[in-house]
Structure 1
Amino acid sequence: MKKIYIAVLALFFTIPMFAQESTQVEEKKEKEDVYIWCKMPRKKGQWYKLEKPTPKVVTDFQDKLIYLKLLNEYDIVEKGKLDRATSDAILKLESRKGVTYDSKELVGFTQGMKNRLNLMYFTAKRAADAKKQ
């Protein structure tokens, strides 16, 4: 009986150790997140979390930026890789919309960036199609 009490007591003291390890993992994840200060027109500035872009998302961005003539296709070092030229083109696109970032180079995308790019891309595409007809 004495051994059972000792085993239960030992388990009781090990539980906080496991809980402490899981909080350390969460803190590391939070530190890895990248946030950027964004100022939208007629709104207060806000911190936005940049999502790490997948190669597919970057390629989609690059194709649309080339179509909008914001990015020269010869500037792209590797399709699907977020490089300095793509980053500069995205910042240029955003500045046209009046959105400013406290950054010279982006390391990811926000959902707002994706939405504004799609809006400009499809608007330009419809306008080009209407001109042809």
Structure 2
Amino acid sequence: MKKMYIIVLALFFAIPMLAQEKEKEKDKKEDVYIWCVMPKQKGQWYKLEKPTLKVVNDFQTKLIYLKLLNPYDIVEKGKLDRATSDAILKMEARKGVTYESKQIVGFTQGMKNRLNLMYHIAKRAAEAKEKQ
């Protein structure tokens, strides 16, 4: 009877470990991580989120406003292409953020936050310039 309890207990603890291993394998295949170095910080791996159409449109509109992306570079509105990726890398470089990549195929939350900050600063500066 004791042996049966030990076997059941061992199986009980083994099942979650097997499930975690399968989950890790699944993450490795689907997720894209990129090495990012922020100013005055150690490098970190950030997970790139697959861009949704709404997020890409927002990025492209704001990057054009910041004059980092030429409107003619966009082949299709809402499509993340090479020109958009280059513009994002250029924007991040201005903030002192570097990536170990020639092309970004997704967005991190930090990228979105920095873009929004730069966009609103540029928008306020343009409005102030018009008033003068």
- TM-score, normalization: structure 2? 0.81
Compute the displacement of 1:29 (Å).
3.4
2:99 alignment partner in structure 1: 101
Q: Deviation per CA, 1:76-103, whole angstroms, max 9, x where unpaired?
A: 0111111000000000000011000000
Who is 2:34 aligned against?
36
- Give the unaligned 5+ runs of structure 2: 1-10
Query: For residues 75-132 of structure 1, what are the alpha-carbon distances to aligned partners after superposition, in whole Å with 9 as ceiling and x for unaligned?
Result: 0011111100000000000001100000000110000000000000000001111111
Task: Provide structure 1 residue ranges, at least 5 long, that are not aligned to the other structure.
Answer: 1-12
Query: Percent identity of the aligned residues?
Result: 75
Which structure: larger Rg?
1
Alignment partner, residue 61 of structure 1: 59
Aligned to 1:127: 125
Q: How does 1:113-124 map to 2 (within 5 A)?
A: 113-124=111-122
Secondary structure of 2:107's partner?
coil
Q: How many residues align?
A: 118
Q: Hey, what's the Cα distance between the residues in 2 that align with 1:118 and 1:43? A: 22
Q: What SS does the aligned partner of 1:35 have?
A: strand
- Work out the CA distance in 1 between the residues paired with 2:129 and 2:52: 34
Amino acid in the other structure paired with 2:27: K
TM-score, normalised to structure 1, is 0.81
Distance across 2 between alignment mates of 1:46 and 1:37 = 6
Question: Match for 1:89 among 87, 90, 103?
Answer: 87
Deviation of residue 30 (structure 1)?
Answer: 3.6
* Secondary structure in structure 2 of the residue aligned to 1:53: coil
Q: State the secondary structure of the residue aligned to 1:116.
A: helix
**d(CA) in 2 for partners of 1:21, 1:127:** 53
Q: Cα RMSD between the aligned structures?
A: 1.9
